[in-house]
Amino acid sequence: MKKTALIMGSDSDLPIVEKAISVLKKLDMPYTVHIMSAHRTPERTAEFAKAAADNGYGVLVAFAGKAAHLAGVIAAHTTLPVIGVPIKGSDLGGLDALLATVQMPSGIPVATVAIDGGANAAWLAARMLSVCEPELAEKLSDEKLRMAQEVEAKERKLNA
């Protein structure tokens, strides 16, 4: 199975990254975690993105707040799918990061999840990789069924 890279702009993003790690572990997906900066380590970030496919990655997830250029810089240097996770990091509550992540130029797409949406970024990465991984697709189907069963159990409890 292809690996998923979780790339945070700062170690302050780790609590949101840990939500993604939890999902990837639950699904037995291989992953790596990195700290890179679009502004402070631009060459290293570009080199990582350029080599990611050859290094066994299938999807790259970028976590960044404020100006949040990380996902866009990564997407500019790879053809792999990139998922951006805007992080609350300013007085704007993450809206600045959301807009910076989602407003990419044509041809440099970044799939963007909700502010602080680390778990959903991992779920989306799993869905992307499941296209070519039947075992992962089955795990996702099982998880959807489990979630539905939880809702039904809550409904029964509410009406009991």
pLDDT at residue 91, as a whole number? 87
91 and 123 Cβ atoms separated by less than 8 Å: no
pLDDT at residue 87, as a whole number? 97
The greatest distance separating any two alpha carbons of the chain, rounded to the nearest whole angstrom, comes to: 60
Looking at residue 85, which CATH number applies to its domain? 3.40.50.1970
Establish if 144 belongs to a structural domain. no
Domain count, the chain: 1
Establish if 142 belongs to a structural domain. no
Cα 88 from Cα 108, distance rounded (Å):
23
Establish if 158 belongs to a structural domain. no
pLDDT at residue 89, as a whole number? 86
Establish if 92 belongs to a structural domain. yes
Query: Could you list the pLDDT tens digit for every one of the 160 residues in the chain?
Result: 999 999 999 999 999 999 999 999 999 999 999 999 999 999 999 999 999 999 999 999 999 999 899 999 999 999 999 999 999 988 899 999 999 999 999 999 999 999 999 999 999 999 999 999 999 999 999 999 999 999 999 999 999 9
pLDDT at residue 11, as a whole number? 96
Establish if 24 belongs to a structural domain. yes
pLDDT at residue 90, as a whole number? 82
**What percent of the chain is predicted at pLDDT more than 90?**
98
Establish if 138 belongs to a structural domain. no
N-terminal to C-terminal alpha carbon distance within the chain: 44
Range of the domain at 46: 3-132
Enter the pTM of the model: 0.96
Establish if 155 belongs to a structural domain. no
**DSSP alpha helices (H): ranges in 27-117?**
42-51, 70-76, 95-102
Residue 39 has what DSSP assignment?
T
The residue whose two tokens read 């996902």 is 71
Establish if 154 belongs to a structural domain. no
7 and 63 Cβ atoms separated by less than 8 Å: yes
- Please give the C-alpha separations between residue 66 and each of 2, 9, 35, 58, 116, in angstroms, as whole numbers: 30, 10, 16, 27, 12
